[in-house]
Structure 1
Amino acid sequence: MASLDNTGWSVPGLLVALLLVFDSGVLHVRGLEVSTGKVSSIEAMNGSTVLLPCTYSSCIGIHKLTFSWHYNNNGTMNKLCEGVVPSEGVEPKVKVEHDRVEFVGSSKSHNISILLWNITFEDEGEYTCFAKNPKEMNRNHSAIFTLRVVDQMREVDNTLTVIIVSVLGGVIGLVIIVMVIKALVVQFLLKDDEKNKECLVNASGNDNTENGLTGAKAENKGTPKA
C-alpha cells in the first residue's frame, strides 16, 4: 500500500508531480532551441545570394544533434540539406540536397546556417530550420525564415530624415548666432565700461585742480621778509 503524507498525497504521486514540474519548468525552458535571429525575414534581389541564418542552443548539452533545412513549396516541404553534430565542438557531417545550397555553419559557434546562391522568384517563401537533440529525449525545435525576391530594391524615403536634419541644423545655427551676438555685446559693454572709468578719472583730476590744490601750494610759500 502506498503511504500518504499529511496532505493526503501518496509518495509515488509526489514523485510524479515533481517529475511533471521538472519536465515543464526546466526542460522546456532550458532545453534545445533554434533561432533565425532578431530579423526573421529578408528582401533580396533576383539573382543575388542570400544567407539563411540559424543557430541552436541548449543548456543541457547536445549529443548527435540532427538538423535540417526545408523549403515550403506550396505546402510541400522540400529538403535542402541535413546534418548531424556528434557532440559539442565537433564539426557536423552535412548532406546537401540542393545544387544552389551551401552549408556555412560551424558547431564552434552553434551555427547551422546555409547560403542560397543565385536566387530566383521561385525561391520566394518560407524556409524552416529544424533540430532534434537525442540527449534531451529527442526534444526538437524549429524556426521559420521568410525570403522575398524582388527585381529591384525599393528606394527608402528619406524625406523625414531630411526634415529632421534641416531642423537640427537650423537650431544649431541659431544657437551659434546667439552666442556670437552675446560675445559681441559683452565685448562692447566691457569697452564702454573702460571708457566710463577713464572719464571718471579725468573728471576727478579736474575737480581737484578747481578746488584749489594749486593755490594751496602757493600758500605754503614762506612769508616775504620786511
Structure 2
Amino acid sequence: MASLDNTGWSVPGLLLVLLLVFDSDVLHVHGLEVSAEKMSSIEAMNGSTVLFNCKYHSCIGIHNLYFSWHYNNNGTMDKLCDGVVPSEGVEPRVKVEHQRVEFVGSSKKENISILLWNITFEDEGEYTCFARNPKEKDRNHSTTFTLTVVSQMREVDNTLTVIIVSVLGGVIGLVIIVMVIKALVVQFLMKDDEKNKECLVNASGNDNTENGLTGAKADNKGTPKA
C-alpha cells in the first residue's frame, strides 16, 4: 500500500507530478527555437539578392532536424526548399525547389539561411522558416520574414542626427575647454599663493633681525656713573 504524506499525496504520485513538471519544463522552456538572426522585415531593391538569415537552437540537442522554407503566395504556401540535419555538426541534406533560391546555411553554426536571387516585385510577401525536432517529440517552431521590393532605396535624412551630434560635440568641447581653463587658473592661484607665503616669511624674518639688533645696542650702553 502506498504511503501518504500530510497533504494526502502518495509518494509515487508526488514523483509522477515532479517528473511531469520537469519534462514539461525541458520541452517548453529549453526546447527548439527558430529565430531571425537580424531583421524580420526586409526592404530590397528590384533585381538585387536577398539573404533570409534564419537560425535554430535547442539546449537538448537535435536528431534528424527537419526544416523548410515556404513563401505565402496569396494564401498558398509554396515550398522553396527543405532538408534534414542528421545531428549536430553534420551538414544537412537539402532539396531546393525554386530556381532562384540557394541554401547557404551550415549546421556547424545552427544556420538554415537561404538566398533569393534577382528578386522582382512579384517576390514581395512573407517567407517562413520552419523547423521540427524529433528528439523533442516533434516539437516545432518557425519565424516569418516580410519582404518589400522597391525600385530604388530610400535616402535616409540624417540632417537631424548631424545637428544633434554637432551640438553634443560642441557642448563636450566647451566643457573640456572650461575644465582646462579652470585647472590653469587654479594652478596659477596656487603658485601665486605660494609666492605670497614666501614673501610673508621673508618679511617676518627681516623684522625679527632688526628688532634684535636694536635691543643689542640698547643693552651695550654703559650704566651712568653716580
Interval of TM-score (by shorter of Structure 1 and Structure 2): 0.7 to 0.9
CA 1:88–1:179: 2 relative to 1, 3 Å: closer
Alpha-carbon separation, structure 2, partners of 1:204 and 1:80: 100
Q: CA deviation at 1:66?
A: 1.6
Q: What residue is the counterpart of 1:121 in the other structure?
A: 121
Q: How does 1:185-224 map to 2 (within 5 A)?
A: 186-188=187-189, 190-191=191-192, 194=195, 197-198=198-199, 201=202, 205=206, 209=210, 213=213, 216=216
Give yes or no for the alignment of 1:49 onto 2:67: no
| SS in structure 1 of the partner of residue 86 of structure 2 | strand
Deviations 1:1-57 (A, max 9, x none): xx8875488x8x989877765664432333322222363222223322221011222
Alpha-carbon separation, structure 1, partners of 2:121 and 2:96: 21
Q: What residue is the counterpart of 1:169 in the other structure?
A: 170
Alpha-carbon separation, structure 2, partners of 1:194 and 1:15: 86
The two structures, once aligned, show a CA RMSD in angstroms of: 3.8
Could you tell me whether the CA contact under 8 Å between 1:68 and 1:83 is conserved in 2?
Answer: yes
Q: What residue is the counterpart of 1:29 in the other structure?
A: 29
CA 1:24–1:216: 2 relative to 1, 3 Å: closer
Could you tell me whether the CA contact under 8 Å between 2:38 and 2:53 is conserved in 1?
Answer: no
List alignment gaps of at least 5 residues for structure 2.
Answer: none
Q: How does 1:43-82 map to 2 (within 5 A)?
A: 43-82=43-82
Aligned length: 217
Alpha-carbon separation, structure 2, partners of 1:179 and 1:61: 59
Alpha-carbon separation, structure 1, partners of 2:155 and 2:27: 44
Counterpart amino acid of residue 43 in structure 1: E
Deviations 1:172-212 (A, max 9, x none): 41342243145235415633652574376358647855x69
Counterpart amino acid of residue 100 in structure 1: R
| SS in structure 2 of the partner of residue 152 of structure 1 | coil
Q: How does 1:92-103 map to 2 (within 5 A)?
A: 92-103=92-103
Counterpart amino acid of residue 75 in structure 2: G
CA 1:193–1:33: 2 relative to 1, 3 Å: closer
Alpha-carbon separation, structure 2, partners of 1:19 and 1:207: 97
Bigger drift between 27-36 and 177-186 goes to: 177-186
Alpha-carbon separation, structure 2, partners of 1:165 and 1:194: 43
Q: CA deviation at 1:154?
A: 3.6
How high is the TM-score relative to the length of structure 1? 0.74
Q: What residue is the counterpart of 1:153 in the other structure?
A: 154
Counterpart amino acid of residue 109 in structure 1: K
Alpha-carbon separation, structure 2, partners of 1:82 and 1:109: 18
CA 1:122–1:182: 2 relative to 1, 3 Å: same
CA 1:200–1:98: 2 relative to 1, 3 Å: same
List alignment gaps of at least 5 residues for structure 1.
Answer: none
| SS in structure 2 of the partner of residue 87 of structure 1 | coil
Alpha-carbon separation, structure 2, partners of 1:207 and 1:166: 61
Q: CA deviation at 1:115?
A: 1.2
